[in-house]
Chains A and B, each alone.
Chain A
Amino acid sequence: EAGVAQSPRYKIIEKRQSVAFWCNPISGHATLYWYQQILGQGPKLLIQFQNNGVVDDSQLPKDRFSAERLKGVDSTLKIQPAKLEDSAVYLCASSLRFRGGGYEQYFGPGTRLTVT
């Protein structure tokens, strides 16, 4: 089966610019996650979707980050304006569901963002 796809793989921007990342989950996976992974740390959940609804966005810096999952499939994560501390790898993951089993998460290759 095809895995989680993400693009772009790398992005370099200047602070205060905006950037968008795209994710296509595994076919049939209802739950989609965006994580931020700063170098040397574990992934930190930013937002979780169940179909096209938000389940958890408690750690999303909503003043600059936004995400959507129109039609419950693909998702985009946007940062506007970017700060130096946003430099990280942004990982997208998906799972069949998030309750009652079947919630093994499968990760995409990530987008490495460098803010200068």
Chain B
Amino acid sequence: GENVEQHPSTLSVQEGDSAVIKCTYSDSASNYFPWYKQELGKRPQLIIDIRSNVGEKKDQRIAVTLNKTAKHFSLHITETQPEDSAVYFCAASNDYKLSFGAGTTVTVRA
């Protein structure tokens, strides 16, 4: 089955700086890569996703890049704000089954 590895497990950044989270996947058939944000005690919320026919996607301060050859994808958050503090999960799907990474706890320091 699919194996998704996510790094780092924790990330502390100064407000206004950028944050980068990286994930690798094992199944070359995976074609859909969503990112979820989970605040403490709340449900995971989809923040951005990318499909295998696209190399990069941006939405305001967040962007995701995908390298299919290397089987890795990354989340980039620019101009971080305190409300960006949360756990972020990457996931990979082979068209029907989502496999999640272990999560990255992001703390934005004021």
Say which residue of A91, A99, A107, A110 sits within 8 Å of B96 (CB atoms): A99
Closest Cβ of chain B to A69, distance in Å, is: 16
Q: At the interface, yes or no: B45 with Cβ under 8 Å from chain A?
A: yes
Taking the complex as formed, is B63 at the interface, i.e. its CB lies under 8 A from any CB of chain A? no
With A56-B96, A103-B96 known to touch, is A91 a contact of B44 (CB < 8 Å)? yes
**Contact B43–A91 (Cβ < 8 Å):** yes
Question: Are B97's CB and A56's CB within 8 A?
Answer: yes
Q: Interface on chain A toward B: helix, strand, loop, or mixed SS?
A: loop
1/0 per residue, CB under 8 A from B, across A85-116: the answer is: 00000010000001100011111111000000
Report how far A103 CA is from B98 CA in the complex, Å. 10
Give the distance to chain B from A115, nearest Cβ to Cβ, in Å. Answer: 19
Once the chains bind, are B42 and A42 in contact (CB under 8 Å)?
no
**B-contacting residues, A1-57, CB 8 Å:** 33, 40-45, 48, 55-56
Please give the distance in Å from A43's CB to the nearest CB on chain B.
5
Are B43 and A108 closer than 8 Å at their CB atoms? yes
- Residues in chain B near residue A110, CB distance under 8 A: 43
| Main secondary structure on B side of the interface with A | strand
The tally of residues in A whose CB lies under 8 Å from a CB in B reads 22
Stretch at the interface among B13-21, B69-77, B78-86, B100-108: B100-108
Tell me if B65 is interfacial: C-beta within 8 Å of chain A.
no
Given A98-B95, A99-B95, A99-B96, A107–B43 Cβ distance below 8 Å?
Answer: yes
- The smallest beta-carbon distance between B48 and chain A, in angstroms, is 11
> Which 4 pairs, one residue from A and one from B, show the smallest C-beta to C-beta distance?
A42-B100, A98-B96, A107-B43, A107-B44
Chain B residues proximal to chain A, CB less than 8 Å: 1, 4, 6, 32, 34, 36, 42-46, 49, 89, 91, 93, 95-103
Q: Which residues of A contact B (CB under 8 A)?
A: 33, 40-45, 48, 55-56, 58, 91, 98-99, 103-110
Known: A48-B97, A55-B96. 14 other contacts (CB 8 A): A40-B102, A42-B102, A42-B103, A43-B89, A44-B100, A58-B1, A91-B43, A98-B95, A98-B96, A105-B34, A105-B98, A107-B44, A108-B43, A110-B43
